[in-house]
Structure 1
Protein backbone atom coordinates (compact mmCIF):
# COMPACT_ATOMS: atom_id res chain seq x y z
CA UNK A 1 0.00 0.00 0.00
CA UNK A 2 1.62 3.20 -1.19
CA UNK A 3 -0.04 5.53 1.26
CA UNK A 4 -2.72 7.54 -0.51
CA UNK A 5 -6.49 7.15 -0.22
CA UNK A 6 -9.88 8.81 -0.66
CA UNK A 7 -12.50 9.46 1.99
CA UNK A 8 -15.13 11.63 0.35
CA UNK A 9 -18.52 10.29 1.47
CA UNK A 10 -20.04 11.53 4.71
CA UNK A 11 -19.49 9.59 7.93
CA UNK A 12 -23.18 8.64 8.06
CA UNK A 13 -22.84 6.92 4.68
CA UNK A 14 -20.13 4.70 6.09
CA UNK A 15 -21.87 4.00 9.39
CA UNK A 16 -25.16 3.13 7.68
CA UNK A 17 -23.51 0.14 6.00
CA UNK A 18 -22.33 -1.08 9.40
CA UNK A 19 -25.99 -1.25 10.51
CA UNK A 20 -25.40 0.30 13.92
CA UNK A 21 -28.49 2.50 14.33
CA UNK A 22 -28.64 5.31 16.88
CA UNK A 23 -25.26 4.45 18.31
CA UNK A 24 -22.96 7.05 16.76
CA UNK A 25 -21.20 9.80 18.67
CA UNK A 26 -20.16 12.00 15.77
CA UNK A 27 -17.18 14.34 16.22
CA UNK A 28 -16.39 14.74 12.51
CA UNK A 29 -19.56 16.48 11.30
CA UNK A 30 -22.35 15.60 8.91
CA UNK A 31 -20.97 17.05 5.68
CA UNK A 32 -19.21 14.93 3.03
CA UNK A 33 -15.59 14.41 4.05
CA UNK A 34 -14.38 15.45 0.56
CA UNK A 35 -10.86 14.05 0.97
CA UNK A 36 -10.11 12.75 -2.50
CA UNK A 37 -6.36 12.55 -2.11
CA UNK A 38 -5.38 11.99 1.51
CA UNK A 39 -1.70 11.50 2.26
CA UNK A 40 0.19 10.29 5.36
CA UNK A 41 0.00 12.62 8.38
CA UNK A 42 -3.41 13.76 7.11
CA UNK A 43 -6.18 13.84 9.69
CA UNK A 44 -8.83 11.31 8.69
CA UNK A 45 -12.17 10.18 10.06
CA UNK A 46 -11.95 6.93 12.01
CA UNK A 47 -14.43 4.78 13.91
CA UNK A 48 -13.85 3.21 17.31
CA UNK A 49 -16.07 1.76 19.99
CA UNK A 50 -16.30 2.54 23.69
CA UNK A 51 -18.71 0.40 25.66
CA UNK A 52 -21.77 0.15 23.37
CA UNK A 53 -21.31 3.36 21.40
CA UNK A 54 -19.48 3.97 18.14
CA UNK A 55 -17.40 7.15 17.99
CA UNK A 56 -16.40 8.99 14.83
CA UNK A 57 -13.28 11.08 15.45
CA UNK A 58 -10.58 12.79 13.46
CA UNK A 59 -7.17 11.19 13.91
CA UNK A 60 -3.75 11.62 12.30
CA UNK A 61 -2.59 8.91 9.90
CA UNK A 62 0.68 7.70 11.38
CA UNK A 63 1.85 6.58 14.82
CA UNK A 64 5.00 5.55 16.65
CA UNK A 65 5.66 4.61 20.29
CA UNK A 66 7.22 7.20 22.57
CA UNK A 67 10.58 5.38 22.54
CA UNK A 68 10.90 5.53 18.73
CA UNK A 69 11.20 9.28 18.25
CA UNK A 70 14.31 8.80 16.11
CA UNK A 71 12.31 7.38 13.20
CA UNK A 72 9.39 8.52 11.08
CA UNK A 73 5.97 7.43 12.27
CA UNK A 74 4.81 4.42 10.22
CA UNK A 75 1.47 4.66 8.49
CA UNK A 76 0.99 0.90 8.07
CA UNK A 77 1.59 -2.23 10.12
CA UNK A 78 2.26 -5.64 8.57
CA UNK A 79 -0.31 -8.22 9.62
CA UNK A 80 2.44 -10.82 10.02
CA UNK A 81 4.08 -8.84 12.86
CA UNK A 82 1.54 -6.45 14.34
CA UNK A 83 0.14 -8.76 17.01
CA UNK A 84 3.44 -9.94 18.46
CA UNK A 85 6.16 -7.39 17.74
CA UNK A 86 7.19 -4.79 20.33
CA UNK A 87 6.65 -1.73 18.13
CA UNK A 88 2.85 -1.78 18.18
CA UNK A 89 2.38 -3.53 21.52
CA UNK A 90 0.99 -0.43 23.24
CA UNK A 91 -1.86 -0.05 20.74
CA UNK A 92 -2.56 -3.63 19.64
CA UNK A 93 -5.75 -3.76 21.73
CA UNK A 94 -6.93 -0.32 20.57
CA UNK A 95 -8.79 -1.21 17.41
CA UNK A 96 -10.16 1.17 14.79
CA UNK A 97 -11.88 1.08 11.44
CA UNK A 98 -10.75 3.57 8.82
CA UNK A 99 -13.71 3.85 6.42
CA UNK A 100 -12.57 4.89 2.95
CA UNK A 101 -13.92 4.99 -0.59
CA UNK A 102 -10.76 3.80 -2.33
CA UNK A 103 -6.99 3.81 -2.16
CA UNK A 104 -4.29 4.47 -4.77
CA UNK A 105 -1.25 2.52 -5.89
CA UNK A 106 1.57 3.40 -8.30
CA UNK A 107 2.97 0.96 -10.85
CA UNK A 108 6.20 1.36 -12.81
CA UNK A 109 5.68 1.53 -16.58
CA UNK A 110 7.91 0.63 -19.50
CA UNK A 111 8.83 4.26 -20.08
CA UNK A 112 10.08 4.40 -16.46
CA UNK A 113 7.27 6.66 -15.31
CA UNK A 114 4.81 5.68 -12.59
CA UNK A 115 1.12 5.18 -13.33
CA UNK A 116 -1.36 5.66 -10.48
CA UNK A 117 -4.26 3.24 -10.10
CA UNK A 118 -7.41 3.56 -8.01
CA UNK A 119 -8.59 0.45 -6.15
CA UNK A 120 -12.11 0.16 -4.73
CA UNK A 121 -14.76 -2.41 -3.97
CA UNK A 122 -16.39 -3.75 -7.13
CA UNK A 123 -19.80 -2.96 -5.63
CA UNK A 124 -18.58 0.60 -4.91
CA UNK A 125 -19.45 0.20 -1.24
CA UNK A 126 -17.39 1.48 1.70
CA UNK A 127 -13.97 -0.03 2.28
CA UNK A 128 -13.53 -0.82 5.98
CA UNK A 129 -9.79 -0.92 6.71
CA UNK A 130 -8.66 -2.62 9.90
CA UNK A 131 -6.44 -0.32 11.95
CA UNK A 132 -5.06 0.23 15.42
CA UNK A 133 -4.10 3.46 17.10
CA UNK A 134 -3.76 5.75 20.06
CA UNK A 135 -6.83 7.91 20.55
CA UNK A 136 -8.67 9.65 23.39
CA UNK A 137 -11.37 7.70 25.18
CA UNK A 138 -14.49 9.60 26.29
CA UNK A 139 -13.65 12.04 29.05
CA UNK A 140 -9.94 12.29 28.20
CA UNK A 141 -8.08 14.94 26.23
CA UNK A 142 -6.31 14.33 22.91
CA UNK A 143 -2.52 13.94 22.99
CA UNK A 144 0.03 15.27 20.55
CA UNK A 145 1.18 11.73 19.72
CA UNK A 146 -2.27 10.31 18.98
CA UNK A 147 -2.52 8.57 15.62
CA UNK A 148 -3.25 5.32 13.80
CA UNK A 149 -1.78 2.78 11.41
CA UNK A 150 -3.61 0.72 8.80
CA UNK A 151 -2.90 -3.00 8.87
CA UNK A 152 -1.68 -4.44 5.56
CA UNK A 153 -1.42 -7.95 4.14
CA UNK A 154 0.27 -9.63 1.19
CA UNK A 155 -1.56 -8.94 -2.08
CA UNK A 156 -0.86 -12.40 -3.52
CA UNK A 157 -3.92 -13.91 -5.16
CA UNK A 158 -5.03 -11.48 -7.81
CA UNK A 159 -3.68 -8.03 -6.98
CA UNK A 160 0.05 -8.60 -7.18
CA UNK A 161 0.07 -6.83 -10.55
CA UNK A 162 -0.87 -3.61 -8.75
CA UNK A 163 1.17 -3.76 -5.56
CA UNK A 164 2.60 -6.36 -3.20
CA UNK A 165 0.75 -5.06 -0.12
CA UNK A 166 -2.82 -3.95 0.47
CA UNK A 167 -4.93 -2.97 3.46
CA UNK A 168 -6.77 -5.67 5.37
CA UNK A 169 -10.38 -4.90 4.46
CA UNK A 170 -13.21 -6.34 6.54
CA UNK A 171 -16.83 -6.87 5.54
CA UNK A 172 -19.40 -4.96 7.59
CA UNK A 173 -20.10 -7.87 9.94
CA UNK A 174 -16.43 -8.42 10.70
CA UNK A 175 -15.83 -4.68 11.01
CA UNK A 176 -18.41 -4.56 13.81
CA UNK A 177 -16.70 -7.51 15.50
CA UNK A 178 -13.28 -5.86 15.09
CA UNK A 179 -14.54 -2.67 16.75
CA UNK A 180 -16.11 -4.46 19.71
CA UNK A 181 -13.74 -4.23 22.71
CA UNK A 182 -15.14 -7.57 23.90
CA UNK A 183 -13.65 -9.37 20.89
CA UNK A 184 -10.63 -11.33 22.19
CA UNK A 185 -7.25 -10.39 20.75
CA UNK A 186 -6.79 -13.95 19.50
CA UNK A 187 -9.99 -13.64 17.49
CA UNK A 188 -8.92 -10.22 16.19
CA UNK A 189 -5.67 -11.69 14.89
CA UNK A 190 -7.55 -14.53 13.22
CA UNK A 191 -9.73 -12.05 11.35
CA UNK A 192 -6.67 -10.18 10.10
CA UNK A 193 -4.84 -13.28 8.95
CA UNK A 194 -7.64 -15.30 7.39
CA UNK A 195 -10.87 -13.33 6.95
CA UNK A 196 -10.05 -10.14 5.09
CA UNK A 197 -11.88 -9.47 1.83
CA UNK A 198 -10.52 -11.45 -1.13
CA UNK A 199 -8.96 -9.90 -4.23
CA UNK A 200 -12.08 -10.54 -6.32
CA UNK A 201 -13.97 -8.13 -4.06
CA UNK A 202 -12.09 -5.25 -5.71
CA UNK A 203 -11.74 -3.53 -9.06
CA UNK A 204 -9.15 -1.02 -10.22
CA UNK A 205 -8.53 1.49 -12.97
CA UNK A 206 -5.94 4.03 -14.04
CA UNK A 207 -6.32 7.63 -12.87
CA UNK A 208 -4.68 10.92 -13.75
CA UNK A 209 -1.10 11.43 -12.60
CA UNK A 210 -2.23 14.62 -10.87
CA UNK A 211 -3.08 12.43 -7.88
CA UNK A 212 0.67 12.20 -7.27
CA UNK A 213 0.61 15.72 -5.83
CA UNK A 214 -1.13 15.59 -2.45
CA UNK A 215 -2.15 19.23 -2.84
CA UNK A 216 -4.47 18.27 -5.66
CA UNK A 217 -8.03 17.47 -4.64
CA UNK A 218 -11.40 17.00 -6.30
CA UNK A 219 -13.57 14.35 -7.88
CA UNK A 220 -11.56 14.42 -11.09
CA UNK A 221 -8.76 12.51 -9.35
CA UNK A 222 -10.86 9.35 -9.05
CA UNK A 223 -12.09 9.32 -12.67
CA UNK A 224 -10.85 6.56 -14.95
CA UNK A 225 -8.36 7.48 -17.67
CA UNK A 226 -7.36 5.43 -20.67
Structure 2
Protein backbone atom coordinates (compact mmCIF):
# COMPACT_ATOMS: atom_id res chain seq x y z
CA UNK A 1 0.00 0.00 0.00
CA UNK A 2 1.01 3.64 0.16
CA UNK A 3 0.22 5.50 3.36
CA UNK A 4 2.96 8.16 3.46
CA UNK A 5 5.20 9.74 0.84
CA UNK A 6 7.35 12.80 0.21
CA UNK A 7 7.02 15.84 -2.05
CA UNK A 8 10.33 17.55 -1.37
CA UNK A 9 11.65 19.09 -4.59
CA UNK A 10 10.26 22.04 -6.49
CA UNK A 11 7.39 21.40 -8.90
CA UNK A 12 9.83 22.16 -11.72
CA UNK A 13 11.85 19.03 -10.87
CA UNK A 14 8.86 16.91 -11.92
CA UNK A 15 7.51 19.10 -14.70
CA UNK A 16 10.89 19.26 -16.44
CA UNK A 17 10.73 15.46 -16.79
CA UNK A 18 7.45 15.93 -18.70
CA UNK A 19 8.66 18.75 -20.93
CA UNK A 20 7.28 18.50 -24.44
CA UNK A 21 4.46 16.10 -23.56
CA UNK A 22 1.69 18.68 -23.11
CA UNK A 23 1.01 22.36 -22.59
CA UNK A 24 0.93 23.45 -18.96
CA UNK A 25 -1.26 25.91 -17.13
CA UNK A 26 1.01 25.90 -14.09
CA UNK A 27 2.95 28.87 -12.77
CA UNK A 28 6.73 28.54 -12.78
CA UNK A 29 7.96 27.90 -9.24
CA UNK A 30 11.43 26.71 -8.23
CA UNK A 31 10.66 26.87 -4.51
CA UNK A 32 10.98 23.39 -2.94
CA UNK A 33 7.67 21.99 -1.77
CA UNK A 34 9.44 20.59 1.28
CA UNK A 35 6.88 18.02 2.47
CA UNK A 36 8.79 15.15 4.08
CA UNK A 37 5.79 13.29 5.47
CA UNK A 38 2.61 13.60 3.38
CA UNK A 39 -0.25 11.84 5.16
CA UNK A 40 -3.80 10.83 4.16
CA UNK A 41 -6.43 13.45 4.89
CA UNK A 42 -4.19 16.31 3.81
CA UNK A 43 -4.32 18.27 0.56
CA UNK A 44 -1.76 17.18 -2.01
CA UNK A 45 -0.63 18.83 -5.24
CA UNK A 46 -2.21 16.60 -7.88
CA UNK A 47 -1.26 16.70 -11.56
CA UNK A 48 -4.24 16.45 -13.92
CA UNK A 49 -5.25 17.32 -17.47
CA UNK A 50 -8.18 19.54 -18.36
CA UNK A 51 -8.92 22.34 -20.83
CA UNK A 52 -6.15 20.91 -23.03
CA UNK A 53 -3.39 21.63 -20.50
CA UNK A 54 -1.68 20.21 -17.43
CA UNK A 55 -2.86 21.61 -14.10
CA UNK A 56 -1.75 21.27 -10.48
CA UNK A 57 -4.49 21.44 -7.86
CA UNK A 58 -4.43 20.91 -4.08
CA UNK A 59 -6.66 17.86 -3.62
CA UNK A 60 -7.75 15.91 -0.54
CA UNK A 61 -5.96 12.56 -0.24
CA UNK A 62 -8.86 10.20 0.35
CA UNK A 63 -12.09 9.21 -1.34
CA UNK A 64 -15.50 8.72 0.26
CA UNK A 65 -18.55 9.23 -1.99
CA UNK A 66 -21.82 10.24 -0.29
CA UNK A 67 -23.03 6.63 -0.01
CA UNK A 68 -19.79 5.47 1.68
CA UNK A 69 -20.16 5.63 5.47
CA UNK A 70 -16.67 4.54 6.48
CA UNK A 71 -13.32 6.29 6.61
CA UNK A 72 -12.15 7.62 3.21
CA UNK A 73 -10.14 5.13 1.16
CA UNK A 74 -6.60 6.14 0.23
CA UNK A 75 -5.53 3.38 -2.22
CA UNK A 76 -7.09 1.40 -5.09
CA UNK A 77 -5.79 -1.91 -6.43
CA UNK A 78 -4.81 -1.74 -10.08
CA UNK A 79 -6.11 -5.29 -10.58
CA UNK A 80 -9.72 -4.30 -9.80
CA UNK A 81 -10.06 -0.50 -9.91
CA UNK A 82 -11.21 -0.23 -13.52
CA UNK A 83 -14.22 -2.50 -12.89
CA UNK A 84 -15.19 -1.89 -9.26
CA UNK A 85 -18.34 -0.01 -8.25
CA UNK A 86 -16.29 2.36 -6.13
CA UNK A 87 -13.55 3.23 -8.57
CA UNK A 88 -14.77 2.60 -12.13
CA UNK A 89 -16.00 6.20 -12.69
CA UNK A 90 -12.72 7.56 -11.34
CA UNK A 91 -10.67 5.29 -13.60
CA UNK A 92 -12.67 6.46 -16.61
CA UNK A 93 -12.84 10.18 -15.92
CA UNK A 94 -10.50 11.07 -13.05
CA UNK A 95 -7.03 9.76 -13.82
CA UNK A 96 -4.34 11.90 -12.23
CA UNK A 97 -0.73 11.72 -11.05
CA UNK A 98 0.89 12.31 -7.66
CA UNK A 99 4.38 13.78 -7.93
CA UNK A 100 6.69 12.21 -5.35
CA UNK A 101 10.32 11.69 -4.41
CA UNK A 102 9.68 8.44 -2.57
CA UNK A 103 7.39 6.74 -0.10
CA UNK A 104 7.50 5.10 3.31
CA UNK A 105 6.65 1.53 4.11
CA UNK A 106 6.62 -0.31 7.42
CA UNK A 107 8.23 -3.75 7.75
CA UNK A 108 6.64 -5.89 10.43
CA UNK A 109 8.55 -8.38 12.56
CA UNK A 110 6.21 -9.71 15.24
CA UNK A 111 5.06 -6.74 17.30
CA UNK A 112 7.79 -4.53 15.86
CA UNK A 113 7.35 -2.25 12.85
CA UNK A 114 10.29 -0.50 11.23
CA UNK A 115 9.70 2.23 8.62
CA UNK A 116 11.72 2.29 5.40
CA UNK A 117 12.08 5.02 2.79
CA UNK A 118 11.82 3.79 -0.82
CA UNK A 119 13.06 5.83 -3.78
CA UNK A 120 14.42 5.52 -7.32
CA UNK A 121 18.09 4.52 -7.27
CA UNK A 122 19.18 7.68 -9.11
CA UNK A 123 16.71 9.81 -7.12
CA UNK A 124 14.64 10.51 -10.22
CA UNK A 125 11.23 12.21 -9.76
CA UNK A 126 8.39 9.72 -9.37
CA UNK A 127 4.88 9.79 -10.81
CA UNK A 128 2.32 7.75 -8.87
CA UNK A 129 -0.78 6.75 -10.83
CA UNK A 130 -3.86 8.15 -9.10
CA UNK A 131 -7.60 8.33 -9.70
CA UNK A 132 -10.13 10.67 -8.16
CA UNK A 133 -13.26 12.76 -8.39
CA UNK A 134 -12.76 15.21 -11.25
CA UNK A 135 -12.84 18.08 -12.06
CA UNK A 136 -10.26 18.73 -9.38
CA UNK A 137 -10.67 22.50 -9.50
CA UNK A 138 -14.16 22.04 -7.97
CA UNK A 139 -13.50 19.47 -5.30
CA UNK A 140 -16.25 18.05 -3.09
CA UNK A 141 -15.56 17.37 0.60
CA UNK A 142 -13.81 14.01 1.08
CA UNK A 143 -14.22 13.16 -2.61
CA UNK A 144 -10.56 13.58 -3.45
CA UNK A 145 -8.20 10.96 -4.86
CA UNK A 146 -6.61 7.60 -4.16
CA UNK A 147 -3.21 6.25 -5.17
CA UNK A 148 -3.26 3.20 -7.43
CA UNK A 149 -1.25 0.29 -6.03
CA UNK A 150 0.23 -2.86 -7.54
CA UNK A 151 1.60 -6.09 -6.12
CA UNK A 152 5.16 -5.95 -4.89
CA UNK A 153 7.69 -8.43 -6.19
CA UNK A 154 11.36 -9.33 -5.89
CA UNK A 155 13.03 -7.84 -2.82
CA UNK A 156 10.40 -5.18 -2.25
CA UNK A 157 7.86 -7.78 -1.16
CA UNK A 158 9.94 -8.25 2.00
CA UNK A 159 8.77 -4.79 3.09
CA UNK A 160 5.12 -4.95 2.01
CA UNK A 161 3.00 -6.89 -0.47
CA UNK A 162 1.72 -3.68 -2.14
CA UNK A 163 3.44 -0.65 -3.64
CA UNK A 164 2.40 2.52 -5.49
CA UNK A 165 2.07 2.07 -9.25
CA UNK A 166 4.86 4.36 -10.47
CA UNK A 167 4.56 5.40 -14.11
CA UNK A 168 7.53 6.08 -16.36
CA UNK A 169 7.68 9.80 -17.18
CA UNK A 170 7.02 9.26 -20.89
CA UNK A 171 3.64 7.64 -20.12
CA UNK A 172 2.25 10.38 -17.87
CA UNK A 173 0.61 12.50 -20.56
CA UNK A 174 -1.19 9.55 -22.13
CA UNK A 175 -2.36 8.31 -18.73
CA UNK A 176 -3.83 11.73 -17.97
CA UNK A 177 -5.40 12.49 -21.32
CA UNK A 178 -9.22 12.16 -21.40
CA UNK A 179 -9.07 10.55 -24.85
CA UNK A 180 -7.16 7.59 -23.43
CA UNK A 181 -9.61 4.70 -23.16
CA UNK A 182 -10.22 2.63 -20.06
CA UNK A 183 -8.58 -0.35 -21.73
CA UNK A 184 -5.55 1.67 -22.84
CA UNK A 185 -5.15 3.01 -19.30
CA UNK A 186 -5.09 -0.61 -18.11
CA UNK A 187 -2.35 -1.36 -20.65
CA UNK A 188 -0.32 1.64 -19.50
CA UNK A 189 -0.61 0.50 -15.90
CA UNK A 190 1.06 -2.74 -16.96
CA UNK A 191 3.42 -1.65 -19.74
CA UNK A 192 4.60 1.71 -18.39
CA UNK A 193 5.05 0.88 -14.71
CA UNK A 194 8.55 1.47 -13.36
CA UNK A 195 10.34 -1.82 -12.67
CA UNK A 196 10.84 -2.55 -8.94
CA UNK A 197 14.52 -3.19 -9.66
CA UNK A 198 14.91 0.56 -10.14
CA UNK A 199 14.19 1.21 -6.46
CA UNK A 200 16.33 1.27 -3.36
CA UNK A 201 15.31 1.55 0.30
CA UNK A 202 16.77 2.05 3.73
CA UNK A 203 15.48 2.16 7.34
CA UNK A 204 14.48 5.57 8.71
CA UNK A 205 13.44 7.15 11.98
CA UNK A 206 10.22 5.98 13.58
CA UNK A 207 9.32 9.66 13.91
CA UNK A 208 7.75 9.33 10.46
CA UNK A 209 4.85 7.55 12.16
CA UNK A 210 3.46 10.93 13.22
CA UNK A 211 2.46 13.39 10.49
CA UNK A 212 3.40 16.19 12.88
CA UNK A 213 7.02 15.43 12.02
CA UNK A 214 8.13 17.08 8.78
CA UNK A 215 11.88 17.53 9.24
CA UNK A 216 14.39 16.67 6.46
CA UNK A 217 16.13 13.99 8.52
CA UNK A 218 13.05 11.76 8.24
CA UNK A 219 14.42 10.41 4.93
CA UNK A 220 17.94 9.78 6.23
CA UNK A 221 19.14 6.24 6.87
CA UNK A 222 19.43 5.13 10.50
CA UNK A 223 21.96 2.65 11.85
CA UNK A 224 19.77 0.86 14.43
CA UNK A 225 16.59 -0.46 12.79
CA UNK A 226 14.19 -2.50 14.90
CA UNK A 227 14.10 -5.37 12.42
Could you tell me the TM-score, scaled by structure 1's length?
0.91
Q: Distance in 2 between matches of 1:65 and 1:22?
A: 31
1:66-77 to structure 2, matched below 5 A, reads: 66-68=66-68, 70-77=69-76
Helix, strand or coil: the match of 2:190? helix
Helix, strand or coil: the match of 2:130? strand
Q: Distance in 2 between matches of 1:192 and 1:37?
A: 26
1:41-74 deviations in Å (ceiling 9; x for gaps): 1111110011431001110111122211x11111
Q: Distance in 1 between matches of 2:51 and 2:180?
A: 12
Q: Distance in 2 between matches of 1:211 and 1:34?
A: 15
Q: Structure 1: 5+ residue runs without aligned partners?
A: none
1:58-137 to structure 2, matched below 5 A, reads: 58-68=58-68, 70-93=69-92, 94-109=94-109, 112-136=111-135
Identify if the C-alpha distance between structure 1 residues 80 and 35 changes in structure 2 by more than 3 Å, giving closer, same or farther: same
Identify if the C-alpha distance between structure 1 residues 45 and 154 changes in structure 2 by more than 3 Å, giving closer, same or farther: same
1:170-181 to structure 2, matched below 5 A, reads: 170-181=167-178
Helix, strand or coil: the match of 1:55? strand
Alignment equivalent of 1:164, drawn from 161, 166, 169: 161
Identify if the C-alpha distance between structure 1 residues 36 and 88 changes in structure 2 by more than 3 Å, giving closer, same or farther: same
Whether the 8 Å contact between 1:2 and 1:106 is mirrored in structure 2 is no
Q: Structure 2: 5+ residue runs without aligned partners?
A: none
Q: Distance in 2 between matches of 1:129 and 1:213?
A: 22
Q: Which is worse superposed, 142-151 or 21-30?
A: 21-30
Q: Distance in 1 between matches of 2:188 and 2:206?
A: 35
Q: Distance in 2 between matches of 1:92 and 1:65?
A: 15
1:201-220 to structure 2, matched below 5 A, reads: 201-220=198-217
Cα shift at 1:92 = 1.5
